[in-house]
Amino acid sequence: MEVVALVGPAGSGKSHRAQIVAYQNQCELIVDDGLLIDKDGKIRAGTSAKREENKMAAVRRAIFLDEGHRAEVRSALWSLKPKKVLVLGTSDEMIVRICDALDLPHPDRTIRIEEIATPAQIRLAQRKRHHEGKHVIPAPTFEVKKTFSGYMVDPLRFFFKRDHGLDPVTLEKSVVRPTFSSLGRFFIADTVIAAIATRAAEMVPGVGRVGRVVVESRREGVLVDMEVLLRYGYHIFDVLREAQEAVAAQIAHMTELNVLEVNLEARRLLVD
């Protein structure tokens, strides 16, 4: 197995360029901020350092000091058996610590961010990090939302034109604002989610009333169980399916939460 290192100061745009560097160097996997990501953006293992409560905890996560975290990513690497891995870090020392933690060989090649980004591009990336608190994760939004449920996650999509006449590749990344760089905390109570779910369901033709709503909040998202009273004369399964989709879409739209399940139970028919 070979390792390619991408080294640059925090906020200099390493994650923004990680997928392109991976493609250019035939790296099948990327190790970035505690995550193991394949070159197409699927998160294979790990926990993002950007989810941590403070910068110290984020650094510990990024260099795999937690045994369970370290074992999970090691196991995934062993299972996937990549020929080449791209490892991102802020210094050569950090790269070595990550490689040692994951039982990876030390880098065969080290790429400096200054080699692939202009000074102006690096300054722009650092300004966005320091003034707007924005971080990039080299994975699509639907992947990132599994980990960052409830966070504002913005997609970035671009085309990478490959050499030798190969078709261009569409790459998607996500922009998040981690807990440790935000202005403060906010919480969405389960009662708010239940109210959104109730309103969304009652807007669907065929739904008469909503009864009991139970919301279960998990780190990776929310589960919603609902009892509904349906109006007579509508196709029951069509109404339930439409209500299920409406509830999931409205919760995701209004809260940015990852909706894991919406379970509906028809309790009664209302006859006018």
Choose between 51 and 48: higher pLDDT: 48
Q: Domains along the chain?
A: 2-181 (no CATH), 190-270 (3.30.70.1350)
Question: Which range, of 13-17, 50-54, 254-258, 264-268, averages the lowest pLDDT?
Answer: 50-54
CA Rg value for the chain: 22
Q: Tokens 């994951």 belong to which residue?
A: 102
Of 100, 92, 110, 93, residue with least CA distance to 70: 100
Choose between 242 and 218: higher pLDDT: 242
pLDDT beyond 60 at 10: yes
The CB-side HSE value for 113 (13 A sphere, CA atoms) comes to 25
pTM: predicted TM-score of the whole model, two decimal places: 0.60
Distance CA 15, CA 137 (A): 6
Of 269, 201, 263, residue with least CA distance to 236: 269
Average pLDDT value for residue range 38-64: 84
Question: Which range, of 8-12, 137-141, 155-159, 202-206, averages the lowest pLDDT?
Answer: 155-159
> Which pLDDT tens digit goes with each residue over 163-206?
555 555 556 655 665 554 555 555 677 888 899 999 999 999 99
Question: In sequence order, what are the beta bridge partners of 176?
Answer: 135, 153
pLDDT of residue 257: 79
Q: Buried (b) or exposed (e) across 5-35, using 16+ Cβ within 10 A?
A: bbbbeebbbbbbbbbbbbbbbebbbbbbbbb
